[in-house]
C-alpha cells in the first residue's frame, strides 16, 4: 500500500445482501466496509459469511479498499468471521468494540496466525478499530499505538451515545470531546481518524454540515450508510484550488532541492521541509482523486532515496 | 424468408403486405405523393354534434374491414377506444383494423373483441397484455409496431388509411375546435392526433367537455372535423402519468445518471443553444436533474426540450434553461397545466416531431437524447419492444426517431435486470439500429460506438470508466453467467417497422 491512502468515504455494505454486494465495484467511495456485524440478523450470520467470501473471491479487479466488519471478538461469531473471509483477502478488518488496546492486540495476534497459515506476508491485513464506548474513548490514545496494523481509528457515535445513555443530536455537541480525543490519538500515532456515520440518508444539508465540522476537527474521512452520501463527503473534502497551487509549488521546490542535494529549501521566504512536503503531497493526492490535477508524483524524488 | 442488413430473418410478406427489408437509417427515399382524402362540404344549416358514438360510427359510414384510430394521450386512463369497439360490435361490424397511436394495458378490454373477430389487426405497437398473448400464440391478430415518426409517415403516405379517427378531445366546441389543455380529462398536447385529423377520411371529435362556440383556444381546428360527440367521460386523466415522475433514489440508477451527465458535458454539446430530450423514468429524470445543475452552474441557456414532456422540463423552461418546449405528449399533469399557460410550451404534431419523410423534423435539430432499453447488443442495437422472455410488451415510441435525429444518443440501463445481463450477443428484437446509438451507459461502465473515437478519447482523458462493449459484457456475465437462448417458433406475429417503413425485425411466437 502506498504511503498515502485516501479514506474520505468508507461505505457500509450489508454482508447478507447480494444485490448490494454486487454493486461494490461501481460505488465511487474510497473504501467499503462489508458488514457482518449489526446489519446481519443472527439467523443469517453463516450465510452472510459465505456470501461475502464468494463475492470477494470473484471480485478480482479491486478498485477500492475492502474492509470487513466482523462481529466482536467476544461473540461466538468473531473468529469464524475471520476464518471465512481472510482467505478471500480483504484489505483490513474493522474491529467493533475496541474498548482497550488489548482487544486490538488479540486481533493482531490472530491475524498473524492466519497470515502464517495462509502463507501471506505478516502485517498484510490491516485493522480499523471502532472506538464506540466511553471506555474506548478513554483508552483510544493507547489503542492508536497498539499495533502497526492500524490504518486509523473509527469513531462510532451510535454505540458511544448509547454507552453514555444520551441521545445523539444532529448538531453533535455531545460528541465534541470524544471526537477531539480520537483525532488526538490518531494524529499522535500517525494514523487516520475516521468519523462516525450520519444516519439520515435523506438530509444532505445536515451531512454536509457534519462533514465540514469533522474535517475542521482533523478527521480524514467518514463512515457512511448510503451511497448517495459519497458525493457530499467528497465535495467537502475536495482541496481548494489555492491549496493545490501552493502544493504544486512546494513539490516543485523540493524536487529542485533534491537535485541540489539538500532536503530543505525556501519558498516565498518560508522554509519547506519534510512536514510541509508531506502535507503538500497529501493535498496533491487528494486533488488527483478529485480529478483536479493529472500529474505523476515520484515519491522517491519527493522524499529522497534512502 | 429474407434477411435485412442486420441479418434479421423476415417473412417476404406479412398480413397481405410486401415486406421492405431495413437497409440503413438514412438512405431510403419516399416514392409517392402525400395521401389524399375526399373534400367535403358542410353548409350553414348543418350541425356537427351527434348524440352518441353509435350515431357517429353510422354517420362515418364504417363498414366491415375498415380502419379506425384513436390517440393515446390519455395513456392508461383512456376509455374511448374500448367504448368505440363495443359500439362497433353492437352494430355487428367485423374485421376492423386498429391504427391508434398506441395501445396500453387498459386496452386489455379489447381482447374479447379480438377473439370475436371484431378486431383483426393492429397497425400500431402495443403495450401490455395484448402483445403478450399474441407472442404466446393465444391471440391471432397481426401487429405492426411503428415509431411515433413512422406512424405519422405511414398515415401521411397512405400506407395506413384511416377510415374514421375518433379523437378524444378534453375541450371541444360544437364545431370541432379542440384542445387537450383544458377540461376534466385534460391531457395536454394532442400531438399524435394532428395527423389523423388531417388524413382520416372521417374525423370525429369525442368530448366530455363541450364548450360554447368558439373555443377560446384550439390545437385542432373545425375545418378538419366532421362530427362532434359529447360523452360522459373520456377516461381517467390521473392515469396519464406514464411510469415514474420522480428522480430515482436507487444508487445504481444515480450512478448511471451521473455518468450520463458527464458524457453530455464531455461531448461539448452542453453550451448555449443546447437541445435535449429524456423520457420519464427515474434514471432519465436523474440525468435531467444533473444536466439542469450543470446548466445552472455554467449559466447555459438551452434552446429547446422536446418529446414527451415532464414537469421536470417545465421547471427548466420556467427557470429559463430552455427557450421552448416542443411537446408531442404530456407525461404528467404538471406538463398538462403548463401547456395551457406557458407561451414557450408549444404543442407539436408527431409529424413535426419525428417524421423522416417531411422537410425536416424536430428530432433532426436535437443535440442529445437519453433513451432506455430492455436489452442492447455488442453491435449497439437496442431492443425496447420485447423483453428477455421474448414477449412483445412495449411500443417503440420515439426511440428510433430521436436516436436517428440526435447528435448524441445515449442509452442508459442497469447492467443487470432481474438477474439477466443487459448486454447480449444479439438482442431478442432490434428496435433501433446500432448505427444510430452513440453511447451505452451502465453503472459498470460506458461503451462508446466505434464511430466516435474522439468522444471515447476525451472520456478516457477524464478518467470515466470507458469500456469496450464486449469487455463490459464479459464483466456482467461474470456476475450473471451467460443466459440460455430463448426458443421461438417460425410463426411471425408482429413486425417491427423502422421509421422509414422498412422492416427492421420480426417478432415470433415463443415456444411454450
Instruction: Look at residue A265 and tell me whether its pLDDT is greater than 90.
Output: no
Q: Is residue B440 part of a domain?
A: yes
Same domain, B325 and B404: yes
Long-range contacts made by residues B457-463, C-beta under 8 angstroms, separation at least 24?
B458/B266, B459/B262, B459/B263, B459/B266, B462/A291, B462/B262, B462/B266, B463/A291
Are B116 and B180 found together in one domain? Answer: yes
Domains in chain A: ranges and CATH: 9-237 (3.20.20.60), 241-303 (no CATH)
Orientation of helix A101-118 relative to helix A78-85, angle to 10°:
30
Look at B259 and A263; give whichever has higher pLDDT.
Answer: B259
- Domain identity same for B358 and B278: yes
Q: Is A228 on the interface with B (CB under 8 A)?
A: yes
For residue A302, count other CB atoms closer than 10 A to its CB: 19
- CATH number reported for the structural domain that contains residue B188 in this entry: 3.40.1080.10
What was the pLDDT predicted at A96? 97
DSSP per-residue codes, B284-344: HHHHHHHHHHHHHHTT----EEEEEE-HHHHHHHHTTS-SEEEEEEE-SHHHHHHHTT-TT
Tell whether B390 and B417 lie within a shared domain.
yes
User: Residues 6 or more apart from A28 whose CB is under 8 A from it?
Assistant: A230, A231, A234, B255
Residue A300 has pLDDT above 80, yes or no: no
pLDDT tens-digit series, residues B407-418: 999 999 999 998
Chain B residues with CB-CB distance to A54 below 8 A? none
At A283, which helix (H) or strand (E)?
A: helix A274-289
Residue B419 carries which DSSP code?
A: T
The answer on pLDDT for A269 being more than 90 is no
pLDDT at B162 > cutoff 80: yes
Q: Residues B423-446: what's their mean pLDDT?
A: 97
B93 or A272: which leads in pLDDT? B93
Report angle CA B78, B83, B88 to the nearest 5 degrees.
Answer: 140
What is the average pLDDT value for chain A, to the nearest integer?
A: 92
pLDDT digits (tens, 9 = 90+) for B91-139: 999 999 999 999 999 999 999 999 999 999 999 999 999 999 999 999 9
| Pair B97, B225 in one domain | yes
Q: Say yes or no for a CB contact (<8 Å) between B444 and A26.
A: yes
- The answer to whether residue B281 sits within a structural domain is yes
Spatial separation of the C-alpha atoms in residues A14 and A114, rounded to whole Å: 24
CA distance B4 to chain A (A): 38
**Structural domain boundaries enclosing B209:** 48-123+160-239
According to the model, what pLDDT value does residue B243 have?
A: 55
What is the model's pLDDT at position A273?
81
Q: Give yes or no: residues B230 and B353 share one domain.
A: no
Query: What is the arrangement of strands in the sheet containing B382-383, beginning at the earlier edge strand?
Result: B382-383, B375-377, B423-424
Query: What confidence tens digit (pLDDT) does each residue in B489-498 have?
Result: 999 999 999 9
Q: Is the pLDDT of residue A2 over 60?
A: no
Q: Which of B189, B204, B239 is the last residue of a domain?
A: B239
Q: What is the per-residue pLDDT across A143-171, written as a single tens digit (0 to 9) for each?
A: 999 999 999 999 999 999 999 999 999 99
B479 vs A contacts (CB less than 8 Å) = 22, 58
pLDDT at B388: 84
Domain assignment present for residue B37? The answer is: no
Q: Say if residue B76 is in the same domain as residue B173.
A: yes
- Mean pLDDT (chain B) is 95
Instruction: Please provide residue B350's backbone torsions phi and psi, each rounded to the nearest 5 degrees.
Output: -60, -30
Give yes or no for a contact between A268 and A255, defined as CB atoms under 8 angstroms apart.
no
Inter-chain touch B255–A27, beta carbons under 8 Å: yes
Could you tell me the pLDDT band of residue B90, with boundaries at 50, 70 and 90?
A: very high
Distance (Å, whole) CA B69 – CA B447: 40
How many Å apart are CA A64 and CA A28, to the nearest integer? 8
Overall number of domains in chain B: 2
Query: Are residues B282 and B333 located together in one domain of the fold?
Result: yes
CA B299 to chain centre: 32
pLDDT at residue A73 above 80? yes
Q: Between vectors from CA B323 to CA B318 and to CA B325, what angle results, nearest 5°?
A: 80
Quick one: average pLDDT of B71-84?
Answer: 95
Instruction: Find the residue in A nearest to B418 (Cα).
Output: A19
Between CA A119 and CA A106 the distance in angstroms is: 20
Average pLDDT on A249-256 reads 86
Give the contacts of B147 (CB within 8 A, at least 6 positions apart).
B354, B396, B397, B398, B399, B400, B401, B497, B498, B499
Stretch B155-161: mean pLDDT, rounded?
A: 97
Quick one: how far is CA A80 from the chain centroid?
Answer: 24
- Look at residue B220 and tell me if it is in a domain: yes
Mean of the pLDDT values across residues A183-204?
96
Domain assignment present for residue B142? The answer is no
Is B138 part of any domain?
no
pLDDT at A174 over 70: yes
Q: What is the pLDDT of residues A32-48, one digit of tens each?
A: 999 999 999 999 999 99
B245, pLDDT greater than 80: no
Are B169 and B175 within 8 A, CB to CB? no
User: Would you place residue B244 in the very low, low, confident or very high pLDDT band (cuts 50, 70, 90)?
Assistant: low
Are residues B382 and B338 part of one domain? yes
pLDDT tens across B275-334, in order? Answer: 999 987 889 899 999 999 999 999 999 999 998 999 999 999 999 999 999 999 998 889
Q: How far apart are CA B10 and CA B107, in angstroms?
A: 28
Choice between A139 and B284, residue whose per-residue pLDDT is larger: A139
Return d(Cα A124, Cα B267) in angstroms, integer: 43
Q: Which DSSP string do the residues of A189-223 spell out, in sequence order?
A: HT-EEEEPP---TT-HHHHHHHHHHHHHHT--EEE
Q: Are A26 and B416 an interchain contact pair (Cβ–Cβ within 8 Å)?
A: no
Is the Cβ of B420 closer than 8 Å to some Cβ of chain A? no
B30-58 pLDDT, tens per residue? 999 999 999 999 999 999 999 999 999 99
A19 → chain B, closest CA residue? B419
Interchain pair B251, A22: CB under 8 A: no
Q: What is the mean pLDDT of residues B242-249?
A: 71
pLDDT of residue A1: 36
| Cβ–Cβ gap B251/A227 under 8 Å | yes
Domain boundary residue among B239, B273, B290?
B239
Residue A77 has pLDDT above 50, yes or no: yes
Q: How far off is chain A from B232, nearest CA to CA, in Å?
A: 44
Q: Residue B477 domain-assigned? A: yes
Neighbours of B61 (CB within 10 A): 11
Split at pLDDT 50, 70, 90, the class of A257 is: confident
* Mean predicted confidence (pLDDT) in B457-470: 94
pLDDT at B264: 97
Same domain for B211 and B81, yes or no, is yes
Amino acid at each position: 500500500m502506498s504511503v498515502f491512502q485516501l479514506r474520505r468515504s468508507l461505505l457500509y455494505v450489508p454482508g447478507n445482501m447480494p444485490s448490494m454486494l454486487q454493486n461494490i465495484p461501481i460505488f465511487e467511495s474510497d473504501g467499503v466496509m462489508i458488514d457482518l456485524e449489526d446489519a446481519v440478523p443472527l439467523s443469517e450470520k453463516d450465510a452472510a459469511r459465505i456470501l461475502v467470501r464468494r463475492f470477494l473471491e470473484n471480485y478480482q479487479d479491486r478498485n477500492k479498499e475492502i474492509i470487513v466488519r466482523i462481529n466482536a471478538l467476544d461473540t461466538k461469531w468473531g473468529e469464524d468471521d475471520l476464518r471465512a473471509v481472510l482467505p478471500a483477502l480483504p484489505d483490513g478488518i474493522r474491529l467493533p468494540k475496541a474498548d482497550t488496546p488489548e482487544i486490538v492486540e488479540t486481533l493482531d495476534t490472530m491475524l498473524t496466525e492466519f497470515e502464517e497459515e495462509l502463507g501471506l506476508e505478516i502485517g498484510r491485513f490491516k485493522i480499523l478499530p471502532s472506538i464506540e464506548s466511553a471506555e474506548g474513548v478513554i483508552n483510544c490514545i493507547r489503542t492508536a499505538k497498539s499495533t502497526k496494523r492500524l490504518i486509523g481509528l473509527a469513531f462510532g457515535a451510535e454505540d458511544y451515545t448509547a454507552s453514555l445513555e444520551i441521545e445523539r443530536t444532529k448538531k453533535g455537541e455531545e460528541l465534541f470531546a470524544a471526537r477531539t480525543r480520537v483525532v488526538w490519538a490518531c494524529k499522535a500515532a500517525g494514523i487516520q481518524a475516521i468519523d462516525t456515520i450520519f444516519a439520515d440518508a435523506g438530509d444532505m444539508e445536515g451531512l454536509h454540515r457534519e462533514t465540514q465540522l469533522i474535517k475542521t476537527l482533523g478527521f480524514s474521512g467518514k463512515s457512511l450508510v448510503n451511497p448517495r452520501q459519497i458525493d457530499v463527503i467528497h465535495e467537502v473534502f475536495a482541496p481548494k484550488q489555492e491549496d493545490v497551487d501552493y502544493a504544486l509549488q512546494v513539490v516543485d521546490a523540493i524536487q529542485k532541492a533534491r537535485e541540489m542535494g539538500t532536503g530543505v529549501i525556501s519558498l516565498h521566504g518560508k522554509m519547506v521541509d519534510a512536514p510541509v512536503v508531506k502535507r503538500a503531497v497529501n493535498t496533491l493526492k487528494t486533488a488527483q482523486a478529485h480529478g483536479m490535477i493529472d500529474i505523476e508524483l515520484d515519491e522517491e524524488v519527493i522524499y529522497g532515496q534512502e | 424468408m429474407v434477411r435485412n442488413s442486420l441479418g434479421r430473418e423476415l417473412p417476404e410478406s406479412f398480413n397481405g403486405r410486401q415486406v421492405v427489408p431495413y437497409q440503413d437509417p438514412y438512405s431510403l427515399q419516399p416514392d409517392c405523393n402525400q395521401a389524399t382524402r375526399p373534400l367535403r362540404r358542410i353548409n350553414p344549416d348543418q350541425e356537427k354534434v351527434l348524440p352518441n358514438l353509435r350515431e357517429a360510427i353510422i354517420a362515418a359510414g364504417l363498414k366491415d374491414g375498415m380502419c379506425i384510430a384513436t390517440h393515446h394521450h390519455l395513456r392508461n386512463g383512456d376509455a374511448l377506444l374500448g367504448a368505440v369497439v363495443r359500439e362497433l360490435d353492437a352494430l355487428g361490424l367485423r374485421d376492423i383494423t386498429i391504427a391508434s397511436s398506441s395501445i396500453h394495458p387498459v386496452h386489455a378490454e379489447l381482447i374479447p373483441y379480438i377473439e370475436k373477430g371484431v378486431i383483426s389487426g393492429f397497425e400500431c405497437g402495443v403495450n401490455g397484455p395484448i402483445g403478450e398473448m399474441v407472442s404466446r400464440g393465444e391471440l391471432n391478430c397481426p401487429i405492426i409496431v411503428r415509431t411515433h415518426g413512422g406512424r405519422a409517415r405511414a398515415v401521411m403516405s397512405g400506407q395506413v388509411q384511416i377510415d374514421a379517427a375518433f379523437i378524444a378531445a378534453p375541450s371541444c366546441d360544437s364545431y370541432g375546435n379542440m384542445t387537450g389543455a383544458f377540461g376534466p380529462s385534460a391531457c395536454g398536447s394532442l400531438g399524435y392526433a394532428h395527423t389523423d385529423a388531417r388524413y382520416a377520411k372521417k374525423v370525429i371529435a369525442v368530448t366530455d367537455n363541450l364548450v360554447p362556440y368558439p373555443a377560446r383556444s384550439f390545437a385542432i381546428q373545425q375545418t378538419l372535423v366532421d362530427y362532434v360527440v359529447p360523452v360522459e367521460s373520456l377516461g381517467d386523466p390521473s392515469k396519464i402519468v406514464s411510469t415514474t415522475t420522480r428522480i430515482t433514489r436507487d444508487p445504481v440508477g444515480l450512478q448511471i445518471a451521473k455518468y450520463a451527465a458527464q458524457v453530455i458535458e464531455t461531448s461539448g454539446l452542453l453550451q448555449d443553444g443546447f437541445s435535449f430530450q429524456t423520457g420519464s423514468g427515474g434514471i432519465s429524470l436523474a440525468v435531467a436533474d444533473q444536466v439542469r445543475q450543470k446548466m445552472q452552474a455554467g449559466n447555459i441557456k438551452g434552446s429547446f426540450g422536446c418529446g414527451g414532456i415532464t414537469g421536470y422540463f417545465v421547471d427548466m423552461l420556467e427557470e429559463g434553461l430552455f427557450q421552448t418546449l416542443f411537446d408531442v405528449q404530456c407525461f404528467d399533469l404538471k406538463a398538462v397545466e403548463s401547456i395551457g399557460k406557458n407561451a414557450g410550451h408549444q404543442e407539436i404534431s408527431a409529424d413535426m416531431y419525428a417524421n423522416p419523410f417531411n422537410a425536416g423534423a424536430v428530432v433532426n435539430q436535437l443535440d442529445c437524447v437519453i433513451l432506455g432499453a430492455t436489452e442492447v447488443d455488442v453491435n449497439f442495437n437496442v431492443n425496447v419492444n420485447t423483453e428477455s422472455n421474448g414477449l412483445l410488451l412495449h411500443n417503440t415510441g420515439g426511440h428510433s426517431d430521436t436516436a436517428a435525429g440526435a447528435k448524441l444518443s445515449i442509452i442508459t440501463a442497469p447492467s443487470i435486470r432481474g438477474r439477466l445481463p443487459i448486454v447480449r450477443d444479439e438482442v431478442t428484437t432490434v428496435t433501433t439500429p446500432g448505427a444510430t446509438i452513440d453511447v451505452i451507459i451502465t453503472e459498470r461502465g460506458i461503451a462508446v460506438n466505434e464511430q466516435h473515437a474522439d468522444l471515447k478519447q476525451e472520456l478516457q482523458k477524464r478518467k470515466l470508466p470507458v469500456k469496450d462493449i464486449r469487455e463490459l459484457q464479459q464483466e456482467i456475465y461474470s456476475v450473471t453467467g451467460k443466459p440460455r437462448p430463448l426458443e421461438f417458433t417460425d410463426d411471425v406475429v408482429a413486425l417491427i417497422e423502422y421509421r422509414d417503413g422498412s422492416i427492421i425485425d420480426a417478432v415470433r411466437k415463443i415456444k411454450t
